[in-house]
Amino acid sequence: MSETITLMKSHTSVRRFKEEAIPQEDLNEILSAAQMASSWKNFQSYSVILVRSQEKKDALFELVPQEAIRQSAAFLLFVGDLNRAEKGAHLHTDTFQPQGVEGLLITSVDAALAGQNTLLAAESLGYGGVIIGLVRYKSVELAELFKLPDYTYPVFGIALGVPNQKHAVKPRLPLEHVVFEEEYQEQSTEAIEAYDRVQTEYAGARATTTWSQRLAEQFGNPEPSSTRENLEQKKLL
């Protein structure tokens, strides 16, 4: 296996960090590697807000009580960003109509690719981290805290730092249940129950709900309203 594949296959999210900073030089390396991710038409429709002050991390923790945020050496907020696009487009036209699903997919996918590159680059230097999607549940408040302008919205954050915990790698779905030859194959309920058992065994004493129960919690309820409300306020919906 290549070094890169070995690194990718040893990924685990890290949510507890030592009280150690990440040197500026390392952050620059991580973020410039992240920037090399592919993006839709090279638009690079995202921005990153680097949060290092404890005051700001604490303010964010008040809104999104995830311990990883408070303990992180650096918290990176990945923002879907068509604000630059608006300025670029206006050099050539008076109309700008980014509202809708395609604009959201373009920006979210660009941010996600850069985010995954960020985490992998950080892991390659011995740091750890976790993606925090729960920031979206406080989209309106975050937009205010980080002064996000029109045509921008929080997609997710990444808490980074020097790891202070180590977990076993979390087992994924069997490859043949995710990768299909030539055409889609719907899953049997048995396959899902089998993965429930794999996940429960992995979690051991920490298991409180099964994988499919978490699916039910997520998708059995309406989506949180703040994401949509913020997207409407920022003229993206």
- CA-based radius of gyration for the chain: 19
> Which residues have a Cβ under 8 Å from the Cβ of 6 and sit 6 or more positions away?
none
Nearest-CB residue to ligand FMN?
133
Which helix (H) or strand (E) segment holds residue 32: the answer is helix 24-34
Q: Which of 109, 121, 132, 142 binds ligand FMN (CB under 6 A)?
A: 132
Within residues 7-26, the interface with ligand FMN by CB under 6 A covers 11-13, 15
Residue 63 engages ligand FMN in binding (rule: CB under 6 A): no
Q: Which residues partner with 75 through β-bridges?
A: 51, 159
Within residues 137-196, the interface with ligand FMN by CB under 6 A covers 156, 170
Angle at CA of residue 118, ends 100 and 235, nearest 5°: 20
CA 20/CA 25 separation, integer angstroms = 14
Nearest Cα neighbor of 60 from 127, 119, 143 is: 143
Size of the site for ligand FMN (CB under 6 A): 12
Q: Which of 66, 72, 117, 230 binds ligand FMN (CB under 6 A)?
A: 66
Please tell me what DSSP assigns to residue 160.
E
Which window, 29-37, 81-89, 128-136, 221-229, contacts ligand FMN (CB under 6 A)? 128-136
Residue 83 engages ligand FMN in binding (rule: CB under 6 A): no
Give whichever of 173 and 237 is closer to ligand FMN, judged by the CB atom. 173
Give whichever of 124 and 235 is closer to ligand FMN, judged by the CB atom. 124
Give whichever of 87 and 105 is closer to ligand FMN, judged by the CB atom. 105
Residue 131 engages ligand FMN in binding (rule: CB under 6 A): yes
Smallest gap, in angstroms, from Cβ of residue 136 to ligand FMN? Answer: 9
Which window, 21-29, 52-60, 124-132, 177-185, contacts ligand FMN (CB under 6 A)? 124-132
Q: Which of 65, 100, 133, 224 binds ligand FMN (CB under 6 A)?
A: 133
b/e for 93-122, b at 16 or more Cβ within 10 A?
A: eeeeebbeeebbebbbbbbbbbbbbbbbbb
> Residue 124, CB half-sphere, CA atoms under 13 Å: how many?
19
List of residues contacting ligand FMN (CB under 6 A):
11-13, 15, 66, 130-134, 156, 170
